[in-house]
Amino acid sequence: MGRMESALRSLPRRRTQPFSSLGRTARCFLGRTVRCERSGCERPDCPVGRQTEIVMNPAGPPDPIPADTAPVPTQPNRSDGDNRLPEWLLEATRCGASDLHVVAGYPPVLRVHGQLRELPGGPLESESLRRWLLQWLPLPAHERFLTERNADFAMELDREGTRQRYRANYFFAADQIGGCFRVIPDQIPDFDWAGFPFELAERLVAFRNGLILFCGVTGAGKTTSLAMIINLLCQRSGCRVVTIEEPIEYRFPHYPGSVVSQREVGTDVRSFDEGLKFALRQDPDAILVGEIRDRETAQTALRAAETGHLVFSTMHTRDAKGAISRYTDLFDQDSQQEIRSQLASGLRAVISQHLLRSFADDLKRVLALETLFNTSQVAISIRNGKLESIDNTIQTGRAEGMLPLSESVRRHFQSGLIDRETAERFVQDRSYLR
């Protein structure tokens, strides 16, 4: 024991863990006092130094930290000249990768057009990787990382005179720190490049109120699609937009007559739910909530939609029906009927996204969509909890703008953008591809 990872492992225990020498108190958080062996430590959370004692304080909040023991540096320490992380990130940007993975015991790995590709240099040594990653961890994320053993944040690097942004996720695996970095394009893509139907985007921004959900697995392009939609909304009409994101990825340009406030969870606001509640007091026309993952956020989003606001958000489900089911399942059994009624009246559309491997390995992945609009028939199904009928409604609702995933996949297959093997994974009846 002695390293941060070993100390963190003892956090759930409500007792003192004795160690050898004790130094000064480095940080108090969530009822815990962490003592640090590195007596000259200038980092409040001291993730690099050795933690020698963890004192649990179950009765009430911890005592205030003396001012001389809690300096607040404005930037993390990035002075280590042998840190390879910036080099790998810029290489990811250069070759068009979507993600960089750094895990101890493996070489750095890029995901390029959906495929994993190792970078040269051999397996990463645990201690070096730990040091390199912690040098880029922003101070607001320190406490979250220590307590939750995960942290999301955005970071920037200089790239040929421009600022390149990345979304980072730090995590523990086998008691070692790892990281995953998403490359964020320096500009919001256009609809043609992304393969998102412009007529669908126009229909979505034409709504003046209600809830619009984008769903899909991680990496399905939900954030990119929402950025394009919000950008179009600001271009088309004078619009007051508030976003609550974790972290902020795309930066929206200024358009005359529109005002966008982007708030980051963990930096500008404590949670999606809190940010959404305060957004209602900021005269919004539209609100973007990065993700609905808990009951409080789901309830506030519906209330905002019912009171005349246009609310966009995402959920991690594979299809539109699953998004509606997941939404109601966030609530207890006694509340679900009321929530179904609210969804039946407040929901406007659900867009389910999948990124498919292209036929040529050197091409970007292809966007396939399932589109559900809340027609009167869909509203009845939601209100009565008969979600199994929604798939058939999508199949028969082409005139209302519905699009089954199988039809989107078939079009890509017939256009030669994806191969048969890929297409067959996303259709139930293979004969549909003929």
Q: Has this prediction a pTM greater than 0.85?
A: no
- What's the pLDDT at 219? 87
Q: Is 33 helix (H, G, I), strand (E, B) or coil?
A: strand
- What's the pLDDT at 362? 60
Name residue, tokens 């053993």.
149
Length of the chain: 434
- What's the pLDDT at 176? 92
The domain defined by 85-184 carries CATH number 3.30.450.90: yes
Q: What is the pLDDT of residues 404-422, one digit of tens each?
A: 999 999 999 999 999 999 9
Exposure string of 216-237, with b = 16+ CB inside 10 Å and e = fewer, is: beeebbbbbbbbbbbbbbbeee
CA 234 vs CA 65, 226, 277, 364: distances in Å: 45, 12, 22, 28
Distance CA 214, CA 305 (A): 15
Higher pLDDT: 17 or 381? It is 381
Q: Where are the beta strands (DSSP E) in 20-159?
A: 25-29, 32-36, 51-56, 99-102, 109-112, 115-118, 150-159
- What's the pLDDT at 143? 80
Instruction: Please say if the pLDDT value at position 10 is more than 70.
Output: no
Q: What is the pLDDT of residues 214-226, one digit of tens each?
A: 999 988 999 999 9
How confident is the model over 247-257, as a mean pLDDT?
A: 92
Confidence of residue 34 (pLDDT cuts 50, 70, 90): very low
Q: What is the pLDDT of residues 69-111, one digit of tens each?
A: 333 333 455 545 589 999 999 999 999 899 999 999 999 999 9
The DSSP 8-state label assigned to residue 69 in this structure reads: G
Distance in angstroms between the alpha carbons of the first and the last residue of the chain: 62
Distance CA 287, CA 323 (A): 19
Lowest mean pLDDT among 43-47, 202-206, 325-329: 43-47
Q: What is the pLDDT of residues 264-295, one digit of tens each?
A: 998 899 999 999 999 999 999 999 999 999 99
Burial class of residue 139 (count of CB atoms within 10 Å of its CB; 0-12, 13-18, 19+): middle
191-433: CATH, from 3.30.1490.20, 3.40.449.10, 3.40.50.300, 3.90.1150.10: 3.40.50.300
Confidence of residue 26 (pLDDT cuts 50, 70, 90): very low
- C-alpha count within 13 angstroms, C-beta hemisphere, residue 14: 5
- Strands 210-215, 310-315: pairing is parallel
- What's the pLDDT at 278? 96
Distance CA 389, CA 383 (A): 12
- What's the pLDDT at 113? 84
Residue intervals of the chain classified under CATH 3.40.50.300 are 191-433
Tokens at 244, concatenated = 């609550």
CA 221 vs CA 216, 226, 274, 286: distances in Å: 8, 9, 25, 20
- What's the pLDDT at 154? 87
Distance CA 196, CA 368 (A): 9
How confident is the model over 227-242, as a mean pLDDT?
A: 95
Residue intervals of the chain classified under CATH 3.30.450.90 are 85-184
Q: What letter represents residue 403's amino acid? A: L
Q: What is the pLDDT of residues 323-381, one digit of tens each?
A: 999 999 999 999 999 999 999 999 999 999 999 988 765 678 999 999 999 999 999 99
- What's the pLDDT at 58? 39
- What's the pLDDT at 80? 52
- What's the pLDDT at 284? 97
- What's the pLDDT at 28? 32
